[in-house]
Every structure is written in structure tokens, then in C-alpha cells.
Amino acid sequence: MLFPKSVLFVAVTSAVFSMSVVAAESTEVIEVKGHTHLLRSDLDSLISSTLIEREQLDLMESSSLGETLKNTAGIHASYFGPSASSPVIRGLDGPRVKVMQNGLDGGDASRSGPDHQVTSESSTATQIEILRGPATLLYGSGAIGGVVNVIDNRIPMTQIEEFSGDISASYSSGANEKVTALVLEAGQGNMSFHFDGFWRDADETKIPGAAELEHEEHEDGEEDKDHEEQHGIIENSQGSSSGFTVGSSYINDNFTFGVAYGRIDSEYGLIGHEHEGHDHHEGHGHDHEDHHDEAEHEEGEHEVLPHIEATQNRYQAIASWQQPFAEVPKIVIKAAYTDYQLQEIEGSQVATQINNDSAELKLEIYHQWLTDWQGVVGAHYLYSDYSPIGEEAITAPTRTNSWALFATQKRQLGQVELHLGARIERVSIKPELGTEGIDVEFTPISFSSGINWQLNDRQQLLLNFSHSQRALGANEIYAFGEHLGTSSFDIGAYYGAVPHGDHVHYVLGEGDKPTTEDANTLDLGWRYQGEQHIFAASLFYSRVNNFAYQQEQDIAYHLSVYQQRQDDVTLYGGEFQHSFFINEQWTLSSFVDYSRIKLTDGGNLPRIPPLRIATQLDYEINDWHANLMVSHYTKQNKTAVNESATAGYTLVDASIYKHQQLANSELIYFVKATNLLDQEARVHGSFLKDKAPLPGASLKIGLRWSF
């Protein structure tokens, strides 16, 4: 232990005491370096944002997007192991949080299952933008909980006049993780070129104790020896990935056109994936009485721990016209096509394969057609051909088409900026089940209105009301089968489950017909920027009708049985951030975030993150910067039916980095220590909290050379 726990308690308590405003929730980032605060994106008119720049990413970067962002105020991680961890925004994740690459859908399978990796890579990104709240107006109903946009320069949008680039490398002791990345850019005349590549490799993650919260026992009362061996590491948590991107663009004063191609290959172990015997369901497209075949692995067969192999090929293009017409300052067309394949390998066999081919096209027309108003109108099309096959293909192959029209407007009225927006979509999902009349269609309609009121030179008030609708995804509707990655039997909204001894029967179409989620949300924000103090706070309250969630069923079966249900829920919470500039060298920053989701007729939803309190002390002098961060996660005992409580824990991180100017380049090198007290910490929002705790104490060293 590096220092007593009492010191941590004092640090956290003093941080909270220093906050002169009652804990709420903010959706703005407070960045200490350079005294630049309350970063806002171009879309701040509709939804609050956090912008994380490259220098911050050097210290934050981890093996997955969720782990990279989890120390950001308002952001948690689902943590399905170090390789498959997705962002959780205001308690919402999965199909409600849209992960994008340069403003277009990521095109992987991470939104359909928590054990699927997010393919967006942070080591070559220039920045990551996090958009909270009702983002449906610009990005679709799949963004009702928020958006994470990973931005890189694969298609240069400004002319590059000289050769430049950067090279980075890092090593982390917690999993013997090695990462290298390279970015090169050059230009000639109106042409600009970009190349980037990365390589990442990690062993099994080291933890402070046993992976299992408690040992499992066989029917004869003997402990499982395989589980007993999981001490000090998370078994089968190793992972590796690599990729590259090439892009080019033509740029002149009025027109830009660019294209890019990128490829990512990854391989990682599936944690907690137990194969005591598969039950193969002929299921989709056959007789709908009883599709429960009892098929088991042969006795004595040597079990090889399963792993994932995934490949993504992505093509992107963009065309932008500057001032093409009077009162139309810009027109932008974006397009992407993604070919994604995921294979679950067991032994030497492909047990399950998921193919997802997606295409996206987006038109944005920036205009000033109305006197004193500025706005954007556009059209958006998204197509997905999702095809799972194999023993864990719990969803039938589906084709999803989404069409949308959207418009936003803003106007300045003295000290008040007014914002309006609306979006209408048409979403159709067609499964290949061999049965007529089971296609579903949704027509989500969303609108937003808000004000940004500059109270004085130091204070700002934001008020936003939105009505947002979300179309359910194919997995939420048509899933039926064993999902051993989450140790569950998943049943979609279109099926009625019937228990029968040790089996599960289902009847097609006897479940409640799925409908759109309808969310009415009120966001209230306040910002203050003084000489020594900066505050950013917001509160949110949302009533969601027909909220889709998995409800555990009382069915005798060897796995937990979850039926997709839709009920009315209430969401509320907040964030609060505070920075105190003690002097030119020292800064104390703190934040509190909290989210709560409850069924309106009583009860809690599962896997909702607990209250978190964090404080960070920064010291900066010349080219040196150091910080110490303490994060306390409270006990989560507001649990759903059959869900266990999760103990609270405190994490301590520290880092130091330095800028060094060379002749025509810059060198940044850093050291970061995480979980200094080697605490056992289990994430309440994880399906595997009882099998996979967070990593133990780890040291990361790295450097970045920019030239």
C-alpha cells in the first residue's frame, strides 16, 4: 500500500467540501491545462458536449473505448473485460449510445452485445467528442442516450502544405500491454494525403485477488479447479489488434472532396464464456412449437477457451461546397460503407459468425433562408445487413433500412440564443424467419427547443426541452437463444416464453408488439467562470414511455432467462464540476455524477452506475505537469430483482508528463500509475462483475514525437 486509506478519505472529503454548489450533473468538461474551460462543440446548440484532445488521450488511452473514457465526468464503462468495454452515458449504453467515426456510424457489432468490441481506435484519433442528452436530431434514434464521436484526420479537410506526423509508443505493466501508433501527412498543391497505423498487444489482465467473487461448486460439492486457478489474473483476457488507414482529398477555395480506406483486425479472449453444453435451437424459420434440441459436447473433450477474431474494412467519402448559393454558406455530403465480420472461435472451429454490412449517406445544407436565423436541413439514410450464423446466433439475419429528414435553427435575441430542431425517421426491420407478417416498422419523431442565456460576463444558463423517440434494434425484437457470453438465455420482444420443465418453448408473435421508446427530457445547466473558480452544473429529468429492457424470468433453466420488455421509466440525475485555481502552479478540480433509472410502477433497472465522487490535484510548472486523482464509487444497492448489490471502492491514479521542444519537433513523454492501492473493484454496470474485476495496480510509460 503506497499510502493510508485515511488520506484518500480526507482528500475526497475535502474535495466535496470545496464545492460550494449542491452536487448535480454537468455535461461540460473542465480542462485545466492552459486555463481553457467549458469546451463546446458546434452542436452545443442542441446537446451539451465534452471534447477530449490528443494530449489528454495520451494519458487516458486504454485497450477499449469505454476504459479510455471512463474517468470523464458523466461517463462510465460497461466493462466486459479490458478489450470489450463500451461507454455508458447517464446510465444508458448499448443501442442507446451511438459510437461514430468522423460523424458516421461505426458499423461494428458493439451495439448489439456487450461482449463485442468497439472498433473505433483512440491511438490515432485527434480528438473524441462526447455528446450527451437527446442527440436524435442529428444522429438518429439510436443516439437517444448520447453520442461518442471518434475523430481523426483520415480525410484531410484543410490543405496540408508540408510533411508532418507523429510517432507514439507506450507500455503498461498491468497486462504487459504494448502499443505503437504512426500518423503521417503530406500535401502537394490542392492534394492532401494521410496515413495512420497502430499495433496493440496485451497479455491476461493482472488483478489484486481472485477473479471469481466466490467459488462455484459442482453438484458433488467439489470446487471447480478451473475457477480456483483464476487468482491474480482474469483468465482469457488477452487481446491484440492492428490497423491502418489511408486517405486523400482535393481542396480548393470552394470545394473539398476526399476518400479514405481503413482496416482493423482484432483478436481477444471471451471472459466468463462457459460451455457446459450448447442447446442448439433450430429456431428461426422453422416450426414454432418447440425448438429446443439437447446437444452437448462429447464427454472428455478438451475445452479450449474461446476467443473472438474480428475484421473491419471501412470506406469513407466526403464532399463539401463553400458558399455554393446565396444564403447557403455550405453543403456537405458524407458517405461510408463498412464490411464487418466477427467470428467466435472455439478450438479450431468457428462456433458463431456475425457479418454486418452497412452503408450510410448524409446530406447537410447550412442555410440562412430565414431573416436573422441560421440553420441546417438535411437527409440521412442508413442500411444494415446483419447476419449471424452458428450455435450462438441468437438473432435471425435482419436487414434494417432507416430514412430521415432533419432541421435545426438558431437565432440571437439580445443575450439569449434560441435553438429549435426536429427530425422524422422511418425505420424498417425485416428478419429472415421464413414467416410472413413479422416485419416491424417504426416512425420516430423528435424535436428540441432550448435557450442559451448569457446572464452576464461570467454566468451562463442553459435550458433544453426535447421529445425523442427511438426505434428498437433487431436484437431487442428477434433475439431467442443462449448467449453464453452473458450467461443468459435472451428472448426478444416478439416472442412469448413458456416454461416447460428444463426447457424453454416460445410462440412467435405472442409477446407485446414492440413500439418506439418515447422520452420527454428536461435539461437545466448553469456555468460560472471567475478568476479563481469555475463551476459547471446541470440537472436532467426524463420520463420514458415504452423503455425496452431485459427482465429476468422465473423459469427453471440452466441459464438466467431474460425476456425483452417495455415499461415506463423515469431517469434523473446530474453532474457537477468545479475547478479552483490555487495559484499559477496548483489547481484543484472535482466532479460528482449520478444517474438513476426507475420503473414508474416501482423497482429499479439492472446495471445502473452508482454515485461517483472524484477530485484531481494538478501541478504545472514550465514544461512539467503532474496530477493526482482520487475517484470514489459508492455502494450500489438500488438493484433490480435478482440483481446483487456491488460494494463501493476507491481508485487512485497519478501521472506526470513533460513537453520538450526540439529543433523542428516536439517530444512528449509521460508516466502514469493507475489503481495505486491495488484495490479490488467490481463494476456494477458489467454483466461479468462477479467474474472480472478491474485491473490491479499498473504503471504506464509512453512517449509521442510530433514533427
Q: Which residues of 446-477 are buried (b: 16+ CB within 10 A; e: fewer)?
A: bbbbbebbeeeeeebebebebbbbbbbbbbbb
Residue 634 has a pLDDT of: 97
Residue the block writes with cell 423528435? 446
In this prediction, the residues of the chain whose per-residue pLDDT falls under 50 are: 1-47, 215-228, 275-302
Q: How far apart are CA 76 and CA 612, in angstroms?
A: 10
Output b/e per residue, 401-432; b: 16+ Cβ within 10 A. Answer: ebebebbbbbeeeeeebbbbbbbebebebbbe
Q: How does DSSP assign 586-619, residue by residue?
A: EEEEEEEEEEEEEETTS-B-SS----EEEEEEEE
Q: What integer pLDDT is reported at residue 84 of this predicted model?
A: 83
Cα torsion at 16, 22, 26, 30 (round to 10°)? -40
* Helices then strands, each counted (H, E), the chain: 6, 36
- Concatenating the DSSP letter of every residue in 246-297 gives EEEEEE-SSEEEEEEEEEEEEEEEPTT---S-------TTS-SS-------P
Alpha helices in 417-555 (DSSP H): 474-478
d(CA 328, CA 357): 34
pLDDT in tens, 283-296: 443 333 343 343 34
Q: Which of 281, 558, 496 is nearest to 392 (CA)?
A: 281
* Domain 5-706 homologous superfamily, CATH: TonB-dependent receptor, beta-barrel domain (2.40.170.20)
Q: Element (H or E) spanning 424, and its range?
A: strand 416-431
Grid coordinates given for 472: 428498437
Q: Mind giving me the DSSP string for 35-102?
A: G-BS---TTTTTS-EEEEEHHHHHHH--SSHHHHHTTSTTEEE--SSSSS--EEETTB-GGGEEEEET
CB 469 within 8 A of CB 484: no
From the number of C-beta atoms within 10 Å of its C-beta (0-12, 13-18, 19+), residue 695 rates as buried
CA distances, 583 to each of 250, 264, 579, 618 (Å): 47, 45, 12, 11
Cell of 381: 439514410
Contact between 616 and 596 under an 8 Å Cβ cutoff? The reply is: no
Distance between CA atoms of residues 524 and 540, nearest Å: 6
| Cβ contact 698:673 at 8 Å | yes
Q: Give the H/E segment covering residue 546.
A: strand 533-552
- Provide the whole-model pTM: 0.85
User: What is the model's pLDDT at position 508?
Assistant: 59
> How many whole angstroms separate alpha carbon 680 and alpha carbon 505?
40
C-alpha cell at 545: 414511455
Grid coordinates representing 126 are: 485527434
CA angle 130, 136, 141 (to 5 degrees): 110
The one-letter amino acid code at 590 reads S
Q: Quick one: pLDDT at residue 699?
A: 97
Which helix (H) or strand (E) covers residue 228, if one does? helix 225-228
Q: Other C-beta atoms within 10 Å of 588: how many?
A: 18
Cβ pair 376, 362 in contact under 8 A = no
pLDDT reported for residue 93: 86
